[in-house]
Amino acid sequence: MAEYPARSSAPRSSDSRGSRGDSRGDSRGPNKRRFQVRKKVCRFCVDKTPFIDYKDMKTLRFFITERGKILPRRISGNCARHQREVTVSVQRCRNIALLPFSGEK
Ligand SMILES: [Zn+2]
């Protein structure tokens, strides 16, 4: 008769590994872009904001990084017209010391 070795410390051989290890051909797919394309709409166009208030730093805060830099348009999603207004507004807002020129930290 077959004799079992030790009955305790027998490791379950490679069982928990099988479901994960299959190689998915991730980045080799036909679609190049990794990020899902989400249509960004300029929020000022959506809100139908007539102009951007440079004193409204709560709004302008969205368009600067935490280091105080203005977000580029492809990140903020603004249209060209409003991005220009945001830029001017942020600069004015800095000028009256509502926003920092550079990061606080
Ligand atoms: Zn716009």
Give the pLDDT of residue 86: 94
Q: Can you give the CATH number for the domain in which 66 is found? A: 4.10.640.10
The tally of domains found in the chain comes to 1
CA of 77 to the centre of ligand 1 (A): 9
Domain of residue 81: give its range. Answer: 49-95
Determine, yes or no, domain membership for 56: yes
CA of 43 to the centre of ligand 1 (A): 6
Determine, yes or no, domain membership for 30: no
Two tokens at 8? 């305790």
- For the chain, where are the alpha helices, taking DSSP H only? 43-47, 57-60, 73-76, 80-95
Determine, yes or no, domain membership for 36: no
CA of 57 to the centre of ligand 1 (A): 18
Determine, yes or no, domain membership for 31: no
Determine, yes or no, domain membership for 75: yes
Determine, yes or no, domain membership for 12: no
Provide the β-strand partners of residue 75: none
Give the pLDDT of residue 19: 53
Determine, yes or no, domain membership for 57: yes
pLDDT by residue for the chain (105 residues), tens only, comes to: 666 666 665 556 555 555 555 555 555 656 655 656 566 788 899 988 888 999 988 899 889 998 889 999 999 999 999 999 999 999 999 999 888 888 765
Determine, yes or no, domain membership for 70: yes
